[in-house]
Chain A
Amino acid sequence: MISTKRRDDRRAAWWFLLPVLAGFAIFYGYPAARGIWYSVTDYSMLNTPSYVGVDNYAKLVRDDQFWNALLVTGWYVILNIGSQTLLALGIAALMHRLTRSVVLRATLLLPWLVPNVTVGLLWLFLLDTNLGFVNHLVRAFDMQPIGFFTDATWAMPSVAAINTWAYTGYTALLLYAGMLQIPQYLYEGASIDGAGEWRMFRRITLPLLRPVLALVLVVSLIGSFQIFDTIAVTTRGGPVSATRAIYYYIYQQAFTYFHMGYAAAAAICLALILGVLTAIQMRLLRASRSDLA
């Protein structure tokens, strides 16, 4: 035994960590293990789970609805992340060059602070075929009103647009915070050299923002894959399966049809996809820290 003079706070540490470790064990560790177990069983919440090997996974691979859910989610992610990132970047750049106003920033943050359910309801009304304000505008241009949520072509773009509305301000503020870290003298120098705004944006802002932008992108991507609330309020997966995204599909399998084992297997597939994205996020988090230091 080597006697050390180092402090050992073992006993105190145990009490400091107790609630968090208990929470972790009961609501993260245990359910994770249980989830893996359910995924190889046949379980409806009423029976005791019976082991069925990889049946659930084999069924998933052949399940058109599962692939449709992935496909629809992918389409949503592209629409949502694409529009949201571009808009946010533009808004952040505008704010960065125009103003430091806290009131403006707070206003832009407002949609993010509101529950997705409320946002969904608001737009369900605004985009309603008969009474929605947007369709009043459409009619004012002498066009046929659009069934934003009832037309299969429009439904997913509508859902994506709603969430873009809700999260663009928040994303813009994150990017804006990144822009504030870019030294001001770079812009002053460039402007003395006669560079225009667009040129400064492309040559200074974009390259120096890259680490923050990458991080924001991955975080929004992970969130975007988990689209549920808005769909639950507006389309409930319809028309037919046009908006039945993977989260909603898993929810229905589990709580509408009580295919718990099957839903658990699907959840694991989604978790794998998200796990890869999160690993990338962790990488970027480290990268961005050293970059901005």
Chain B
Amino acid sequence: MTRKQLSAGRVLGWLAMTVVVVATVFPFWWMVRTALTPAADLYTDNTSLLPDHPTLINFLRVLGLTTEAEARAAGGSGARLNFAAYLLNSIIYCGLIAVVQTLFCAMAGYAFARLRFPGRDLVFGILIAALMVPPIFTLLPNFILVKDLGLINTMAGMVAPTILMTPFAVFFLRQFFLSLPRDVEEAAILDGNGPWGIFWRIALPMSRGPLITIGLTTTVWAWKDFLWPLLIGRGEDNRLVTVALGVFLQQSPNTQPDWTGLMAASTLSVLPVLVLLLFVGKRLVQSLNFTGSK
């Protein structure tokens, strides 16, 4: 009898889980489905799960692959769109931040964990106190700083505040380096290696897992960045996907946003994430526990 109850419970449980999965996936389905719909069909064909007249025109026009007249005919506002370039900007932005920041934070984390120098704990304490400073507090002065440096509308200005460090990564990587066995490093010292040699040849290769975890998390957050790149990189040349989506929405007339185009552009902003999930989904999922990231 218990057994039957249990399996009834499990069926209910799986039913609930199915509802959750559908609620998670359906909005994405609807996004792609709308992106494949001709703008003219928006009013007539907007409840079926598949578009009546599937088309790629919306993707082509937001990628800037059509003439202006063609884009207009397909429901565009006539403003120039080039989501291929925006995607590339976003990828460069994320790649730069993820790689450089992770390396610098690993160096610092290693120094705090293994090197001996006066004031070590004090300096580390001050860095960690920065975890308590919310971004909005430094956002305005940083904007003015970047403006004064003449870096508005440059990639350098966009990555500047994050590329050198983030307190959390320093903290996280230091914790990991502390847990590395010391005897390998001591053997390396006997072989005549200095701190750099040990860091590059021993410590870094032994911490591939945590480095990838931090790198991935940084990539995801950078991909989602909006406010800072909105302030710094509004210009066409350095526009990130998120900023471009915001601008695209504002270009639409208030009466009727260019939904099919917007959904095509949204789909493009999701694609790289999907690729990431396909390749490193397992690692990403497993890295989410609470020694872990914000």
Contact = CB atoms under 8 A, between A and B. Distances in A.
B269 A118 contact: yes
A35 B46 CA distance: 49
Nearest to B130: A28
Nearest to B285: A105
B176 interface: no
B140 interface: yes
Contacts of B30: 122, 125-126, 133
A172 B104 CA distance: 31
B190 interface: no
A10 B115 CA distance: 8
Interface in A128-144: 128, 131, 133, 136
B249 A97 contact: no
A53 interface: no
B62 interface: no
A17 B123 contact: yes
- In this complex, the interface size class of chain A, counting residues with CB under 8 Å from chain B, is 35 or more
Interface in A100-149: 102, 104-118, 121-126, 128, 131, 133, 136
A76 interface: no
B145 A174 contact: no
B262 A121 contact: yes
A264 interface: yes
B23 interface: yes
B122 interface: no
A279 interface: yes
Nearest to B9: A197
Interface in B189-236: 194-196, 199, 220, 223-227, 230-231
Contacts of B27: 111, 122-123, 126, 165
A233 interface: yes
B250 to A, nearest CB: 9
- In this complex, the interface size class of chain B, counting residues with CB under 8 Å from chain A, is 35 or more
Contacts of A274: 132, 134
A45 B148 CA distance: 10
B141 to A, nearest CB: 3
B144 A121 contact: no
Contact of B140 (A14, A27, A98, A267): A267
Given A31-B138, A121-B262, A267-B136, A98 B13 contact: yes
Nearest to A6: B116
A250 B231 CA distance: 13
Nearest to A260: B140
Interface string A188-222: 00000010010000000000000010011001001
B117 A9 contact: yes
Interface string B24-43: 11011011001000000011
Interface string B154-172: 0000001111110100100
- Interface SS majority for chain A: helix
A118 B240 CA distance: 12
A139 to B, nearest CB: 10
Interface stretch (A18-26, A54-62, A66-74): A18-26
A98 B277 contact: no
Q: Which of A10, A19, A255 has the most CB of B within 10 A?
A: A19
Contacts of A118: 242, 245, 266, 269-270
Contacts of B43: 131
Interface of B: 2, 9-10, 13-14, 16-17, 20-21, 23-25, 27-28, 30-31, 34, 42-43, 46-47, 104-105, 107-108, 110-111, 115-118, 120, 123, 126-127, 130-145, 147, 160-165, 167, 170, 194-196, 199, 220, 223-227, 230-231, 241-242, 245-246, 249, 257, 259, 262-263, 266, 269-270, 273-274, 276-277, 281-282, 284-286, 288-290, 292, 294
Interface of A: 6-10, 12-14, 16-17, 19-24, 26-28, 30-32, 34-35, 38, 45, 90-91, 94-95, 97-99, 102, 104-118, 121-126, 128, 131, 133, 136, 165, 169-170, 173-174, 177-178, 180, 194, 197, 212, 215-216, 219, 222-223, 226, 228-229, 232-233, 247, 250-251, 254-255, 260, 263-264, 267-268, 270-271, 274-275, 278-279, 282, 288
6 contacts: A20-B104, A35-B141, A98-B10, A107-B24, A194-B2, A254-B143
Closest 8 CB pairs of A and B: A23-B164, A177-B289, A31-B141, A16-B111, A9-B115, A20-B108, A23-B165, A34-B141
